[in-house]
């Protein structure tokens, strides 16, 4: 549930993006239970290195995530990112055999209702504890994972076995690598039932420089969303935040809605635009969430300008 934080000062976008979020990989830490966050939602890793559980508002329940970027490397440096890159990672490389084992065991625990033994799940309604999907996501950008195709193969092979209940697969991406050959190969393994959720927070390069802080141009992100959304539906994920108490000014929101309209007019199938905000301060500490009223205003503007379905989460 999003609570209210006063903010009434627009951010002034400025050009001059920095490039990538890179970090030195420290020595591998031991695996173990741990909690972290994914855009405001507590993640639980059980005893896993790669597979985690989260009760996700946008999934409307239990989401099982596969972290394809255990090294925490991302080609964006979003101002609101909740990945704490000062903390050592649970793993420094992707071990797909371990991914398969962890995912199978986690799905078994979910199916057998064993999550109730954990304090953070004990008192949740049953509807929240039934599996909504398995995500390919992570502490970075999954399409930048060199083993993306192999990771999709690993997960879809497990799904095709009789060892786990069938599940929907969702790729959560900043869209920067959707055109990469190995990503396109991986996406060919997706069924029509599976989904792609792509990030689009802004409508101008200036705002992207301020919010996503990447060398990847906005036009590249838009082109990649269109490339995929002409072939299969793509859900758009848009996070709005206040930086030092300042939010994006109205013209930037209108430009963002115009980009969505242009995508739709160019043939992109976008069944839903998810509008939400950072629920918790980022490790950088200067981002705060927008209140429900402001998010609802943005959703109305998206609906009015683009004609797309937009919901606040």
Give the range of 10-18, 70-78, 109-117, 217-225 binding ligand SF4 by CB under 6 A.
Answer: 70-78
Angle, helices 96-111 vs 148-160, to 10°: value is 40
Give the range of 69-77, 105-113, 243-251, 253-261 binding ligand SF4 by CB under 6 A.
Answer: 69-77
How many positions of this chain bind ligand SF4 (CB under 6 A)? 10
CB of 42 to ligand SF4, least distance (A): 16
Please enumerate in sequence order all residues whose Cβ is within 8 A of that of 39, keeping only pairs 6 or more positions apart, or say none. 80, 82, 239, 276, 278, 279
Listed as own residue / partner, the contacts of 247-251 with beta carbons closer than 8 Å and 24 or more positions apart are 247/7, 247/8, 247/9, 247/10, 247/11, 247/290, 247/294, 248/10, 248/11, 248/13, 248/202, 248/207, 248/211, 249/10, 249/11, 249/12, 250/10
Please select the residue that binds ligand SF4; options are 89, 140, 142, 203, rule is CB under 6 A.
140
| Closest to ligand SF4 by CB, 83 or 228 | 83
CB of 216 to ligand SF4, least distance (A): 10
Alpha carbons within 13 A on the beta-carbon side of 269 = 9
Please select the residue that binds ligand SF4; options are 56, 67, 174, 237, rule is CB under 6 A.
174
| Closest to ligand SF4 by CB, 243 or 305 | 243
Please state, in angstroms and as integers, the Cα–Cα distance from residue 46 to each residue in 61, 136, 171, 282, following that order: 18, 18, 22, 23
Residue 194 sits in the site that holds ligand SF4 (CB under 6 A): no
CB of 109 to ligand SF4, least distance (A): 26
Binding mask 71-100 for ligand SF4 (x = CB under 6 A): ---x-xxx--x-x-----------------
Judge contact between 151 and 94, C-beta under 8 A.
yes
**Interacting residues with ligand SF4 between 4 and 63 (CB under 6 A):** 21
Q: Which residues bind ligand SF4 (CB under 6 A)?
A: 21, 74, 76-78, 81, 83, 140-141, 174
């Amino acid at each position: 549930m999003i609570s209210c934080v006063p903010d009434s000062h627009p951010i002034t976008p400025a050009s001059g993006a920095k490039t990538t979020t890179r970090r030195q990989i420290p020595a591998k830490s031991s695996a173990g239970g741990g909690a972290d966050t994914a855009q405001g939602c507590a993640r639980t890793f059980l005893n896993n290195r790669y597979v985690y559980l989260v009760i996700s508002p946008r999934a409307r329940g239990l989401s099982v995530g596969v972290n394809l970027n255990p090294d925490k490397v991302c080609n964006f440096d979003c101002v609101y990112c909740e990945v704490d890159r000062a903390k050592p990672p649970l793993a420094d490389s992707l071990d797909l055999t371990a991914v398969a084992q962890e995912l199978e065991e986690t799905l078994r625990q979910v199916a057998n209702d064993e999550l109730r033994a954990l304090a953070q799940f004990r008192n949740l309604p049953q509807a929240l504890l039934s599996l909504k999907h398995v995500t390919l996501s992570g502490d970075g950008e999954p399409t930048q994972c060199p083993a993306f195709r192999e990771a999709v193969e690993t997960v879809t092979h497990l799904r095709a076995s009789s060892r786990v209940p069938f599940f929907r697969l969702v790729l959560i991406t900043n869209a920067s690598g959707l055109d990469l050959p190995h990503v396109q190969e991986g996406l060919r393994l997706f069924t029509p039932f599976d989904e792609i959720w792509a990030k689009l927070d802004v409508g101008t390069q200036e705002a992207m420089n301020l919010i996503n802080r990447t060398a990847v141009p906005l036009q590249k992100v838009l082109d990649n969303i269109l490339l995929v959304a002409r072939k299969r539906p793509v859900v758009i994920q848009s996070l709005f935040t206040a930086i030092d108490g300042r939010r994006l000014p109205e013209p930037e929101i209108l430009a963002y809605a115009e980009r969505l309209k242009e995508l739709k007019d160019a043939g992109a199938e976008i069944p839903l635009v998810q509008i939400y905000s950072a629920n918790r301060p980022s490790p950088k500490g200067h981002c705060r969430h927008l209140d429900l009223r402001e998010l609802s205003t943005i959703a109305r503007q998206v609906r009015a300008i683009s004609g797309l379905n937009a919901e606040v989460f």
